[in-house]
Amino acid sequence: MHPLVSVDELRAELEGADPPVVLDVRWSLGGPDGAAEHARGHAPGAVYVDLDTQLASPPGPGTGRHPLPDPAALQEVLRDAGVREGSRVVVTDAGPATSAARGWWVLRWAGLPDVRVLDGGWAAWVAAGGPVETAAPLPAPGDVVVRPGALPVLDADAAARLARDGVLLDARAPERYRGEVEPVDPVAGHVPGARSAPTTGNVGADGRFLPPRELRQRFAALGAEPGRTVGVYCGSGVTAAHALLALEVAGVPALLWPGSWSQWVADPARPVATGPEPG
Protein backbone atom coordinates (compact mmCIF):
# COMPACT_ATOMS: atom_id res chain seq x y z
CA MET A 1 0.00 0.00 0.00
CA HIS A 2 1.33 3.42 -0.96
CA PRO A 3 1.77 5.54 2.19
CA LEU A 4 0.57 8.80 0.58
CA VAL A 5 -2.85 9.93 -0.59
CA SER A 6 -3.49 12.96 -2.80
CA VAL A 7 -6.07 15.66 -2.16
CA ASP A 8 -8.20 14.43 -5.06
CA GLU A 9 -8.03 10.83 -3.85
CA LEU A 10 -8.97 11.73 -0.29
CA ARG A 11 -11.81 13.97 -1.42
CA ALA A 12 -13.27 11.12 -3.49
CA GLU A 13 -12.92 8.68 -0.59
CA LEU A 14 -14.63 11.06 1.84
CA GLU A 15 -17.56 11.34 -0.56
CA GLY A 16 -17.80 7.54 -0.89
CA ALA A 17 -19.80 4.98 1.03
CA ASP A 18 -16.93 3.92 3.30
CA PRO A 19 -14.84 7.02 4.09
CA PRO A 20 -11.55 6.73 5.98
CA VAL A 21 -11.00 8.12 9.45
CA VAL A 22 -9.07 11.40 9.15
CA LEU A 23 -6.78 12.44 11.99
CA ASP A 24 -5.49 16.01 12.11
CA VAL A 25 -2.07 16.14 13.77
CA ARG A 26 -1.19 19.80 13.20
CA TRP A 27 1.83 20.60 15.34
CA SER A 28 5.05 22.55 15.09
CA LEU A 29 7.90 23.23 17.47
CA GLY A 30 7.06 26.53 19.13
CA GLY A 31 3.52 26.85 17.70
CA PRO A 32 1.02 27.81 16.42
CA ASP A 33 -1.42 25.79 18.52
CA GLY A 34 -2.64 22.84 16.47
CA ALA A 35 -5.99 22.51 18.24
CA ALA A 36 -6.81 26.15 17.57
CA GLU A 37 -5.81 25.82 13.94
CA HIS A 38 -7.99 22.73 13.64
CA ALA A 39 -10.96 24.59 15.13
CA ARG A 40 -10.59 27.31 12.49
CA GLY A 41 -10.99 24.76 9.73
CA HIS A 42 -10.39 21.12 8.87
CA ALA A 43 -11.33 18.47 6.34
CA PRO A 44 -14.81 17.00 6.78
CA GLY A 45 -14.96 14.70 9.80
CA ALA A 46 -11.29 15.17 10.72
CA VAL A 47 -10.57 14.57 14.41
CA TYR A 48 -7.75 16.49 16.09
CA VAL A 49 -5.08 14.40 17.84
CA ASP A 50 -2.42 16.11 19.92
CA LEU A 51 1.10 15.01 19.13
CA ASP A 52 2.61 16.01 22.48
CA THR A 53 0.03 14.40 24.77
CA GLN A 54 -1.71 11.71 22.70
CA LEU A 55 0.94 10.42 20.27
CA ALA A 56 3.70 10.47 22.89
CA SER A 57 4.14 9.73 26.57
CA PRO A 58 5.36 12.42 28.98
CA PRO A 59 9.14 12.85 28.76
CA GLY A 60 11.20 11.35 31.53
CA PRO A 61 14.86 10.96 32.45
CA GLY A 62 16.77 9.61 29.48
CA THR A 63 13.69 8.98 27.32
CA GLY A 64 13.81 11.95 24.97
CA ARG A 65 11.18 14.63 24.49
CA HIS A 66 8.59 12.49 22.70
CA PRO A 67 8.68 8.91 24.05
CA LEU A 68 6.43 6.29 22.50
CA PRO A 69 2.82 6.53 23.72
CA ASP A 70 1.36 4.19 26.29
CA PRO A 71 -0.50 1.56 24.23
CA ALA A 72 -3.64 1.60 26.39
CA ALA A 73 -3.83 5.39 26.30
CA LEU A 74 -3.27 5.42 22.54
CA GLN A 75 -5.99 2.83 22.05
CA GLU A 76 -8.44 5.05 23.95
CA VAL A 77 -7.47 8.07 21.83
CA LEU A 78 -8.00 6.14 18.61
CA ARG A 79 -11.30 4.66 19.72
CA ASP A 80 -12.53 8.14 20.69
CA ALA A 81 -11.56 9.26 17.18
CA GLY A 82 -13.77 6.54 15.69
CA VAL A 83 -11.05 4.15 14.57
CA ARG A 84 -12.37 0.61 14.25
CA GLU A 85 -10.65 -2.68 13.54
CA GLY A 86 -9.95 -2.60 9.82
CA SER A 87 -10.46 1.15 9.46
CA ARG A 88 -8.56 3.01 6.81
CA VAL A 89 -6.86 6.01 8.41
CA VAL A 90 -5.50 9.18 6.79
CA VAL A 91 -3.27 11.48 8.83
CA THR A 92 -2.85 15.12 7.93
CA ASP A 93 -1.24 18.27 9.29
CA ALA A 94 -0.62 21.82 8.12
CA GLY A 95 1.92 20.54 5.58
CA PRO A 96 4.48 19.33 4.62
CA ALA A 97 3.69 16.24 6.73
CA THR A 98 6.41 16.63 9.34
CA SER A 99 3.96 15.93 12.18
CA ALA A 100 1.52 13.80 10.17
CA ALA A 101 4.40 11.43 9.48
CA ARG A 102 4.83 10.92 13.22
CA GLY A 103 1.14 10.00 13.42
CA TRP A 104 1.54 7.64 10.46
CA TRP A 105 4.53 5.94 12.06
CA VAL A 106 2.95 5.65 15.54
CA LEU A 107 -0.19 4.08 14.13
CA ARG A 108 1.83 1.63 12.06
CA TRP A 109 3.92 0.81 15.16
CA ALA A 110 0.60 0.25 16.97
CA GLY A 111 -0.37 -2.43 14.47
CA LEU A 112 -2.78 -0.52 12.19
CA PRO A 113 -2.13 -1.80 8.66
CA ASP A 114 -3.91 0.82 6.51
CA VAL A 115 -2.51 4.26 7.34
CA ARG A 116 -1.68 6.98 4.83
CA VAL A 117 -0.58 10.62 4.92
CA LEU A 118 -2.25 13.43 2.98
CA ASP A 119 0.46 14.63 0.62
CA GLY A 120 0.85 18.38 1.08
CA GLY A 121 -1.42 18.47 4.14
CA TRP A 122 -3.92 21.21 4.96
CA ALA A 123 -2.13 23.71 2.70
CA ALA A 124 -2.67 21.46 -0.32
CA TRP A 125 -6.27 20.76 0.70
CA VAL A 126 -7.16 24.45 0.88
CA ALA A 127 -5.24 25.30 -2.29
CA ALA A 128 -7.25 22.67 -4.19
CA GLY A 129 -10.57 24.01 -2.90
CA GLY A 130 -11.30 21.05 -0.64
CA PRO A 131 -14.40 21.36 1.56
CA VAL A 132 -13.80 22.87 5.00
CA GLU A 133 -15.61 22.30 8.28
CA THR A 134 -15.27 24.13 11.59
CA ALA A 135 -17.66 22.13 13.77
CA ALA A 136 -16.09 19.58 16.09
CA PRO A 137 -16.79 16.07 14.73
CA LEU A 138 -18.66 13.53 16.86
CA PRO A 139 -17.53 10.14 15.57
CA ALA A 140 -19.11 6.90 16.73
CA PRO A 141 -16.74 5.15 19.17
CA GLY A 142 -14.32 2.74 17.58
CA ASP A 143 -13.14 -0.69 18.65
CA VAL A 144 -9.56 -0.74 17.34
CA VAL A 145 -7.07 -2.83 19.31
CA VAL A 146 -3.56 -1.39 19.62
CA ARG A 147 -0.85 -4.01 19.18
CA PRO A 148 2.43 -2.19 19.91
CA GLY A 149 5.72 -3.22 18.40
CA ALA A 150 4.56 -3.82 14.84
CA LEU A 151 7.52 -1.72 13.70
CA PRO A 152 11.01 -2.15 15.18
CA VAL A 153 12.80 0.78 16.80
CA LEU A 154 16.33 1.82 17.67
CA ASP A 155 17.64 2.83 21.07
CA ALA A 156 20.71 4.99 21.70
CA ASP A 157 23.17 2.09 21.76
CA ALA A 158 21.79 0.56 18.57
CA ALA A 159 21.91 3.96 16.87
CA ALA A 160 25.57 4.37 17.82
CA ARG A 161 26.38 0.96 16.34
CA LEU A 162 24.44 1.80 13.20
CA ALA A 163 26.38 5.05 12.78
CA ARG A 164 29.55 2.92 12.71
CA ASP A 165 28.37 -0.15 10.79
CA GLY A 166 25.36 0.94 8.74
CA VAL A 167 23.66 4.22 7.85
CA LEU A 168 22.31 6.60 10.48
CA LEU A 169 20.59 9.67 9.04
CA ASP A 170 20.10 12.92 10.96
CA ALA A 171 16.86 14.58 9.78
CA ARG A 172 17.40 17.93 11.52
CA ALA A 173 18.34 21.19 9.83
CA PRO A 174 21.97 21.28 8.64
CA GLU A 175 22.97 23.98 11.13
CA ARG A 176 21.71 21.87 14.01
CA TYR A 177 23.59 18.85 12.68
CA ARG A 178 26.79 20.91 12.47
CA GLY A 179 26.27 22.16 16.02
CA GLU A 180 26.09 25.83 15.04
CA VAL A 181 22.73 26.30 16.76
CA GLU A 182 20.57 24.24 19.09
CA PRO A 183 17.20 25.83 19.94
CA VAL A 184 15.81 23.03 22.11
CA ASP A 185 18.31 20.55 23.53
CA PRO A 186 21.13 21.37 25.98
CA VAL A 187 23.98 20.22 23.72
CA ALA A 188 24.57 21.00 20.04
CA GLY A 189 26.02 18.63 17.47
CA HIS A 190 25.31 15.16 16.12
CA VAL A 191 25.98 11.49 16.76
CA PRO A 192 29.47 10.66 15.51
CA GLY A 193 29.22 8.95 12.13
CA ALA A 194 25.66 10.12 11.39
CA ARG A 195 24.93 11.64 8.00
CA SER A 196 23.00 14.86 7.49
CA ALA A 197 19.67 14.34 5.68
CA PRO A 198 17.41 17.32 6.47
CA THR A 199 13.70 16.71 5.94
CA THR A 200 13.42 19.77 3.70
CA GLY A 201 15.13 17.71 1.00
CA ASN A 202 12.23 15.23 0.91
CA VAL A 203 9.66 17.62 -0.55
CA GLY A 204 9.30 20.08 -3.37
CA ALA A 205 8.38 23.76 -3.24
CA ASP A 206 4.69 22.80 -3.04
CA GLY A 207 5.20 20.82 0.17
CA ARG A 208 4.52 17.50 -1.53
CA PHE A 209 6.94 14.59 -1.46
CA LEU A 210 9.35 14.25 -4.35
CA PRO A 211 8.69 11.43 -6.82
CA PRO A 212 10.00 8.00 -5.75
CA ARG A 213 12.84 8.04 -8.29
CA GLU A 214 14.16 11.37 -6.99
CA LEU A 215 13.89 10.22 -3.39
CA ARG A 216 15.77 7.01 -4.23
CA GLN A 217 18.54 9.08 -5.79
CA ARG A 218 18.68 11.39 -2.80
CA PHE A 219 18.97 8.59 -0.28
CA ALA A 220 21.37 6.53 -2.41
CA ALA A 221 23.75 9.50 -2.36
CA LEU A 222 23.64 9.26 1.45
CA GLY A 223 24.33 5.52 1.38
CA ALA A 224 20.74 4.59 2.23
CA GLU A 225 19.76 1.86 -0.20
CA PRO A 226 17.83 -1.42 -0.06
CA GLY A 227 19.96 -4.11 1.51
CA ARG A 228 21.64 -1.78 4.00
CA THR A 229 20.47 -1.21 7.56
CA VAL A 230 19.23 2.37 7.77
CA GLY A 231 18.14 4.31 10.83
CA VAL A 232 16.87 7.87 11.28
CA TYR A 233 16.84 10.32 14.16
CA CYS A 234 16.09 14.01 14.72
CA GLY A 235 15.58 16.04 17.90
CA SER A 236 12.84 13.89 19.43
CA GLY A 237 11.62 11.38 16.85
CA VAL A 238 9.07 13.62 15.07
CA THR A 239 10.68 14.90 11.88
CA ALA A 240 12.67 11.66 11.71
CA ALA A 241 9.35 9.97 10.94
CA HIS A 242 9.07 12.28 7.92
CA ALA A 243 12.37 10.86 6.66
CA LEU A 244 11.07 7.33 7.26
CA LEU A 245 7.98 8.17 5.23
CA ALA A 246 10.16 9.48 2.41
CA LEU A 247 12.29 6.34 2.60
CA GLU A 248 9.11 4.24 2.43
CA VAL A 249 8.07 6.10 -0.73
CA ALA A 250 11.55 5.44 -2.11
CA GLY A 251 11.33 1.73 -1.30
CA VAL A 252 14.07 1.77 1.34
CA PRO A 253 13.20 0.08 4.68
CA ALA A 254 14.43 2.04 7.71
CA LEU A 255 14.22 2.18 11.50
CA LEU A 256 13.14 5.08 13.73
CA TRP A 257 15.06 6.09 16.82
CA PRO A 258 12.25 7.58 18.94
CA GLY A 259 14.54 9.02 21.62
CA SER A 260 16.75 10.74 19.06
CA TRP A 261 19.15 13.57 19.94
CA SER A 262 17.22 14.59 23.08
CA GLN A 263 17.86 11.10 24.48
CA TRP A 264 21.48 11.00 23.30
CA VAL A 265 22.53 14.20 25.09
CA ALA A 266 20.78 13.18 28.33
CA ASP A 267 23.88 11.07 29.02
CA PRO A 268 26.95 13.34 29.25
CA ALA A 269 29.23 10.34 28.64
CA ARG A 270 28.04 9.97 25.06
CA PRO A 271 30.32 11.51 22.44
CA VAL A 272 29.20 14.51 20.38
CA ALA A 273 30.47 15.51 16.95
CA THR A 274 30.24 18.97 15.40
CA GLY A 275 30.99 20.48 12.02
CA PRO A 276 30.21 19.10 8.55
CA GLU A 277 30.47 15.49 7.55
CA PRO A 278 34.00 14.33 6.69
CA GLY A 279 34.73 14.66 3.01
Whether the per-residue pLDDT at 109 is higher than 80: the answer is: yes
Q: Averaged over 193-214, what is the pLDDT?
A: 97
Q: Averaged over 167-187, what is the pLDDT?
A: 97
Whether the per-residue pLDDT at 2 is higher than 90: the answer is: yes
- What is the pLDDT at residue 149? 97
Catalytic residue among 43, 100, 234, 265: 234
What number of other Cβ atoms are within 10 A of residue 30's Cβ?
6
- What is the pLDDT at residue 226? 94
Q: Averaged over 218-247, what is the pLDDT?
A: 97
254 and 227 Cβ atoms separated by less than 8 Å? no
pTM for the model stands at: 0.97
Whether the per-residue pLDDT at 229 is higher than 70: the answer is: yes
Residue 234 annotated in active site: yes
Whether the per-residue pLDDT at 272 is higher than 90: the answer is: yes
pLDDT more than 70, % of the chain: 100
- What is the pLDDT at residue 166? 96
pLDDT tens, position by position, 9-21: 999 999 999 999 9
Whether the per-residue pLDDT at 250 is higher than 90: the answer is: yes
pLDDT tens, position by position, 143-170: 999 999 999 999 999 999 999 999 999 9
- What is the pLDDT at residue 145? 98
Whether the per-residue pLDDT at 98 is higher than 70: the answer is: yes
Number of alpha carbons in the 13 Å side-chain half-sphere of residue 231: 27
Between CA 164 and CA 119 the distance in angstroms is: 34
Identify the sign of the CA torsion 112, 231, 156, 58. negative
Q: Averaged over 95-118, what is the pLDDT?
A: 97
- What is the pLDDT at residue 1? 78
Between β-strands 167-170 and 4-5, what pairing exists: parallel, antiparallel or unpaired?
unpaired
Q: Averaged over 189-213, what is the pLDDT?
A: 97
Burial class (CB in 10 A: 0-12, 13-18, 19+), 8: exposed
Q: Report residue 279's pLDDT band, with 50, 70 and 90 as the boundaries.
A: low
